[in-house]
Amino acid sequence: MAETVFFNRDLSWLGFNERVLLEAAKDTVPILERIKFLSIYSSNLDEFYRVRMPVLMAVDEHRQNADGQGNYELAKAEINRQQRKFGAIVAEQILPELANHDIHWIYNKFIPNQITDQVVNLFFNEVLAYIYSICIDKDLTDFFAENNKLYQLVILKDALGEERLELINVPTDSLQRLYSLQDDGHTYVVFLEDIIKYNLSYLFPNDTIQGVYNLKITRDAELKIDNTTEEDITTVLERQLETRDFGFATRFLIEPGIPLRSLYRLIYALKLGNASVVEGGGYHNLKDLNSFPLNGASFSYPKWPSIHSVPIPGNETLFSLILKEDVLVNVPYQSYDPILRFFNEAANDVFVDEIYTTLYRVANNSRIVSALMTAARNGKKVVALVELKARFDEANNIKWAKQMKAAGVKIIYSSVDLKVHAKVALAKRVISEKEEFLGLLATGNLNESTAKFYTDQILLTSHKPMLKELQSIFGFLSKSKKAPGSEDQIDFKHLLVAQFNLQQKFLNLIQREIDNAKAGLVNGITIKLNNLEEKILISKLYEASKAGVKVQLIVRGICCLVPGKAGLSDNITVTRIVDRYLEHGRIFIFENNGNKEIFMGSADWMNRNIYSRIEVCFPLYDTKLKDIIMKIVNLQLQDNAQESIYKFLKDINTI
C-alpha cells in the first residue's frame, strides 16, 4: 500500500509564487501586466518573510527533515533560486521588450548623459527635502531601521583615508518610486534610489565615495494577543499595531558586492544578528512596480467591462426579485452593483427591521458600511460582526468599527482564538406580522474594492430554512463566549459551518462518492480552493482516489496533497490558475449518482479554517445557477479560463 504523503505547505506556497513569477516571463501577456506580475511576486514574498519565516525560524532547531536540513533553510534556498529567476526575467525579457518600444528602463545601469540634467533637477527640486543620513558609527543611539523601508549604504573615505559608513533613507513613502523622463522623443524610466545615488557627491563633498548599496529590512508582523486580557480588544490591537513595524528582523536584503567588513559593521550596528542575510538584486521593494509609469492601451490587458447581469424592471426592487428567485453574481466578470444595492435597499426598506452582517476586510471607502450606518440612523437594528484580526487590515477595520458604533450599529467582535471568516449578511422584514428573510452568502469579502479583481461568487436568496439557520449563526456570534458548547448545537440541514458540522459534512460527502464508486454508480468530486492543507480531508480524498473516484482539484496557492502518486492518488489531478484576476472562490461539487450537489463558501481546507475559524458554506439549489457554476468550473479546468468565462457570462446575459 502506498505511503500517505503530503507536500510541505511553505514550499508549496513558494511554488505558487513562482507560478506568479512565470506570468512575467510569458510573451503572450502584455508588457505592463508582466511588470505587475513581478510586483505581485515581490509583494507576496515580503508577506511570506513577515508572516511565515518567523515561524520557520522558531521551529528550525527543533524539527529537521531527513537530510538534517530544516524547513527554514529549504525555504531560503528556494527563494534564492526564484530570485535569480526574477533577475533573469527582467534582464533577458522585460528590458529588451521595453526597449523595442523605445522605453529604456535604467535597471542596474549608469544614468545616460541625455537625462543627467533632469536627474539633477529632480534631486534638488523634489527629492532633497526628504533625505537624511545616519553615520553608522556615531548616530545610531535613537535610530531604528524601519520595516520594508529602503536605505542606501554609502561607504566613504575622508581626506585622511579614514573610512566611515553612512545610511541614507530612500523616501518612497513621500515620493514616487519610478520617474518617467523624456528626451528627444525617447522615454527613460529611473528609480528614485538611482536619482539619489547620482547626486550623493553633493551630500558628501569632502569625501570619496567607495561604494553605494541598496538595503531593506523585513520584520516579523505577528500580533500577539493574550486571550486572558480583560482590556477592550480594539485598545490592545491599536497598541500592537503601533509597534508592528518594530518587530524582530527576519530578513536583511542586500545588494550584491558589499565588502564583508562593511556588512558585518552594519549588521552589528543595526542589531540584525538573527536576521537572514539575503543577497538579492540591485533593487528591493519591487512591489512598487505596480505603479510602473507606462501608458498605452496596447501595454495592458484589453478592458473587460463588468457585465450587468441582474436586470430589474423599473417598477421592481432587487428584494422583490430575490423573493421570486435566487440570484448569483460572479465577480469581477459581473457587476458588484447588486451587492451594494442589497445593502442600500435593506437600509431604506420600510419593512426591514433587522440587518446582520460579517465584515472581514472592509474597503477603505466602504459604501456597504455607509449603508449599514444609514440603516442604524433610520432606526433599524443593525448588528455587524467585525473581525479585527484580519491580517494587515486591522487598522482599517478598527476605524470602521468605531464609526459604525457611533452611528448606532451594534458591533460585536470575534474572540481572540476564533476568527470569523464567514462572508454573510441577513435582512429580516416584517409585513403584517409575517417574517421574510433575504440573505447574502459569499465566497469572498464584502468589499467593493477587491471585487474588481478577485473572482468570487455571491448568492442572494430568500430560502427561508437556510436563512433561519443563518439567523441562528448570528445569534451564536452575538454571545460573549464564541467557542461552541453543547448548548450551542444547531440542527444544520442546509449550511456547513466550521466549528459545528463543516468538516464532518465534507467527509460524509466524500464517503458517499466512495460508496457510489464501489457500487458502480456515477461518482466524482471537483473542488476549487485557495489552499489545501488539512490532513484529515486530504487523506479522505486519497481514500476516494484509491476507490476509483475521479477527483479534480483547482488549488490556487498551498496544496499539501500530492496528485498522481501510484496507489495513492492516481485519480487526482490538481490545476493552478494564475491570470489577470486573483482566483478566490471556493466551490465544492459532488456528482451524487447524477444528482449533483454544489456548495460554495468562505472555507479553504486549511487547519486554521477548519479548527480556529467560523466559516460558512452554502448549497446551490437552483438548477439554472448550478449549470452556470458547472460551466465556469469546467472552463477553469481548461486553458485560457478567465477570458472564456467572461465570454460565457457575457453571452448568457444577452440571451
Quick one: 123 and 271 in the same domain?
A: yes
SS3 call for 496 = strand
According to DSSP, the residues that pair with 104 across neighbouring strands are 188
Q: Tell me whether residue 304 is in a domain.
A: no
pLDDT at position 244: 45
What's the start-to-end Cα distance of the chain, in Å? Answer: 53
Query: Is omega for the bond preceding 259 within 30 degrees of 0, making it cis?
Result: no
Residues listed for the chain? 655
Give the separation between CA 635 and CA 629, rounded to whole angstroms: 10
Rg (CA), the chain: 27
Q: How far is CA 543 from the centre of its chain?
A: 31
SS3 call for 584 = coil
Which of 270, 299, 328 corresponds to the end of one domain? 299
Please compute, for residue 395, the number of CA atoms within 13 A of its CA located in the half-sphere on the CB side.
7
Catalytic residue among 104, 284, 421, 463: 421
Quick one: 271 and 401 in the same domain?
A: no
When pLDDT is cut at 50, 70 and 90, the band that residue 66 belongs to is very low
Q: Which helix (H) or strand (E) segment is 16 a member of?
A: helix 9-23
pLDDT at position 139: 62
Quick one: 508 and 469 in the same domain?
A: no
Which string of b and e fits 196-207 if b means at least 16 CB within 10 Å? bbbbbeebbeeb
Give the separation between CA 455 and CA 649, rounded to whole angstroms: 13
Q: Is the pLDDT reported for residue 56 higher than 60?
A: yes
Q: Tell me whether residue 24 is in a domain.
A: yes
Q: Which helix (H) or strand (E) segment is 154 a member of?
A: strand 150-157
Quick one: 468 and 398 in the same domain?
A: yes
User: Average of pLDDT values for 443-472?
Assistant: 97
Quick one: 247 and 206 in the same domain?
A: yes
User: Average of pLDDT values for 97-120?
Assistant: 96
Give the separation between CA 495 and CA 268, rounded to whole angstroms: 56
Instruction: Identify the CATH number of the domain in which residue 420 sits.
Output: 3.30.870.10
Which residue's entry shows cell 440612523? 377
Higher-scoring residue by pLDDT: 129, 275: 129
User: Phi and psi dihedrals of 62, rounded to 5?
Assistant: -100, -25
The DSSP line for 276-323 is EEEE--S---GGGGGG-----GGGSPPP-PPB------TT--HHHHHH
pLDDT at position 136: 86
Q: Tell me whether residue 113 is in a domain.
A: yes
Give the separation between CA 485 and CA 489, rounded to whole angstroms: 7
Return mean pLDDT, the chain.
Answer: 91
Q: How far is CA 324 from CA 458, 460, 550, 591, in A?
A: 17, 11, 37, 28
From the list 439, 426, 366, the residue with the least C-alpha distance to 401 is 366
Quick one: 295 and 377 in the same domain?
A: no
Sequence-distant (≥ 6) Cβ neighbours of residue 612 within 8 angstroms: 417, 418, 419
Higher-scoring residue by pLDDT: 4, 236: 4
CB-based contact 641:577 (threshold 8 Å):
yes
Quick one: 66 and 194 in the same domain?
A: yes
pLDDT at position 281: 86
> For the chain, how many structural domains are there in total?
3
Q: Tell me whether residue 341 is in a domain.
A: yes
Instruction: Identify the CATH number of the domain in which residue 170 sits.
Output: 3.30.1840.10
Quick one: 294 and 332 in the same domain?
A: no
Write out pLDDT tens, residues 620-634. 999 999 999 999 999
Q: How far is CA 184 from CA 21, 32, 102, 181, 352, in A?
A: 34, 23, 11, 10, 64
Q: Is the pLDDT reported for residue 63 higher than 60?
A: no
Q: Tell me whether residue 246 is in a domain.
A: yes
Q: How far is CA 349 from the centre of its chain?
A: 35
- In the residue annotation, 284 being an active-site residue is answered as no
User: Average of pLDDT values for 401-413?
Assistant: 93
Burial of 64 (0-12, 13-18, 19+ CB in 10 A): middle
Joined grid coordinates for residue 56:
520557520
Q: Range of 50's domain?
A: 9-299
Burial of 133 (0-12, 13-18, 19+ CB in 10 A): middle
Residue 550 is which amino acid? K
Q: Is the pLDDT reported for residue 454 higher than 80?
A: yes
SS3 call for 328 = strand
pLDDT at position 241: 47
Joined grid coordinates for residue 167:
545610511
Please compute, for residue 323, the number of CA atoms within 13 A of its CA located in the half-sphere on the CB side.
11
Quick one: 434 and 336 in the same domain?
A: yes
Quick one: 176 and 144 in the same domain?
A: yes
Backbone CA torsion sign across 22, 23, 28, 34: negative
When pLDDT is cut at 50, 70 and 90, the band that residue 1 belongs to is low
Which of 299, 333, 356 corresponds to the end of one domain? 299
Which of 232, 265, 299 corresponds to the end of one domain? 299
Give the separation between CA 151 and CA 30, rounded to whole angstroms: 32
Joined grid coordinates for residue 48:
511570506
Which residue's entry shows cell 478567465? 642
Torsion of CA 65, 71, 76, 78, to 10 degrees: 70
Which residue's entry shows cell 490587458? 301
Quick one: 265 and 116 in the same domain?
A: yes
Q: Tell me whether residue 2 is in a domain.
A: no
The DSSP line for 421-467 is ---EEEEEEEETTEEEEEEEEESS-S-TTGGGTEEEEEEEE--HHHH
| Range with lowest mean pLDDT among 53-57, 555-559, 642-646 | 53-57
Give the separation between CA 510 and CA 515, rounded to whole angstroms: 9
Write out pLDDT tens, residues 535-550. 999 999 999 999 999 9
Quick one: 197 and 328 in the same domain?
A: no
Joined grid coordinates for residue 52:
511565515
Report H helices in 479-637: 502-518, 535-546, 607-611, 623-636
Which residue's entry shows cell 510573451? 27
Angle at 173 between CA 172 and CA 179, to 5 degrees: 40
Residue 257 region by backbone torsions, left for phi larger than 0, else alpha for psi between -120 and 50, else beta: left
Give the separation between CA 448 and CA 359, rounded to whole angstroms: 12
What percent of the chain is modeled with pLDDT above 90? 76
Q: Tell me whether residue 1 is in a domain.
A: no
Write out pLDDT tens, residues 548-584. 999 999 999 999 999 999 999 999 999 999 999 999 9
From the list 568, 586, 566, the residue with the least C-alpha distance to 636 is 586
From the list 595, 547, 588, 585, the residue with the least C-alpha distance to 568 is 547
Q: Tell me whether residue 309 is in a domain.
A: no
Sequence-distant (≥ 6) Cβ neighbours of residue 638 within 8 angstroms: 644
